[in-house]
Amino acid sequence: MSDNSKTTWMFGILTCVFICLTIYFVRSPILYPHVYQKPVVPSARLAGIPSGTIRISAAQLIKSGADVSGLDCYACHDPKHPPVIKFALDGQVILPKEHTDLIYSMRNCEECHSQEKPQKIQYNPDGSTNIPKAHQDLMQMAHGKAVKNNNCYNCHNENQLNTLHSSTGKKLNFDQATQLCAGCHGTIYEDWLAGSHGRTEGYWDHKLGPARKQECSSCHDPHAPSFTGIIPMPGPHLLHPEDAPDTHNSTP
């Protein structure tokens, strides 16, 4: 009887020790290394990537009540000393690196890309974001073809950087930028007011629903307003593909 209970005790203790050892081996990172996990790539800020043809303008950004902290000029600049514009040898304005970011922060991918189907961001081997071809534009100051409008203070207010001023000296807020454009581009502005210029969405019949109109800087980058090319969508299928004219290399 006593032998039996001793044996039972011994078995019980051995079982406990065995279980403890098993847990230790399984848990031990040295003896039982965990499966390698890919390092988590932090989700890129979509707002930092240049958009395609539709951007959200500063005007719409302010009106929508979004984060406009990037537009606070006096977070960096001293209000009493307006920043001096630096020019390159060819007369082009040298854009400060900080300001290329600021231009991008006004962009909003959701204007074009739907939120339900998020765009997959591709990364280069060095970890930097691979900017799609259609988006590789607007790292430049290119306003005007014949006559360059490349002086910051033609539009930005030197003495109050978070405002704009028109050619007549009228002070305008960022959400009134369309008025500023109208100062020079009057005919286009009239067309835009009448609806013959610019993108519209929604309802042609205003009794049944609203028509959404884009402001100037929603489609045009004010710093480089003319459009760069976009990639065309595929053409019709060919009945006899082998006979297709090689439009790629043909010269007109």
Partner 1 sequence: MADLNTEEGITRRSFLRATTAAAAGAAALTSALAPLRNIGDFPSVEEFIQKHYTELTPAQLTTVLGRIENEVQKEYGIRPHVRALKPMNGVEFVYALNLSRCCGCRKCVHACVAENNQSRSPEVQYIRVLKMPNDGRFDLESGDHNYNPESVPVPGHFFMPIQCHHCKNPPCVKVCPVKATWQEPDGITVIDYDWCIGCRYCEAACPYFARRFNFTEPSIPKEKINPNMSYLGNRPRHKGVMEKCHFCVQRTRAGQYPACLEACPTGSRKFGNILDPDSEVSYILKNKRVMILKEELGTLPRFFYYFDV
Footprint of partner 1 on this chain (CB under 8 A)?
A: 52-54, 191, 194-205, 207-209, 211, 214, 219, 227-238, 244-245, 247-248, 252
In the bound complex, what is the minimum distance in angstroms from residue 105's beta carbon to partner 1? 22
Residue 16 belongs to what H/E stretch? helix 2-27
Question: Do 131 and 50 contact (CB within 8 A), yes or no?
Answer: yes
In the bound complex, what is the minimum distance in angstroms from residue 147's beta carbon to partner 1? 18
Burial 168-204 (b: 16+ CB within 10 A, else e): eeeebebbbbbbbbbeebeeebeebeeeeebeeeeee
User: CB-wise, 3 or 243, nearer to partner 1?
Assistant: 243
User: CB-wise, 39 or 232, nearer to partner 1?
Assistant: 232
User: CB-wise, 90 or 205, nearer to partner 1?
Assistant: 205
User: CB-wise, 42 or 232, nearer to partner 1?
Assistant: 232
Q: C-alpha angle with apex 197: 234 to 66, nearest 5 degrees?
A: 85
Q: 141, 176, 66: which is closest to 110 by C-alpha?
A: 66
In the bound complex, what is the minimum distance in angstroms from residue 166's beta carbon to partner 1? 24
In the bound complex, what is the minimum distance in angstroms from residue 191's beta carbon to partner 1? 8
The Cβ-side half-sphere exposure at 84, using a 13 Å CA radius, reads 2
> In sequence order, which ranges of 68-141 are alpha helices (DSSP H)?
97-104
User: CB-wise, 161 or 222, nearer to partner 1?
Assistant: 222
In the bound complex, what is the minimum distance in angstroms from residue 57's beta carbon to partner 1? 15
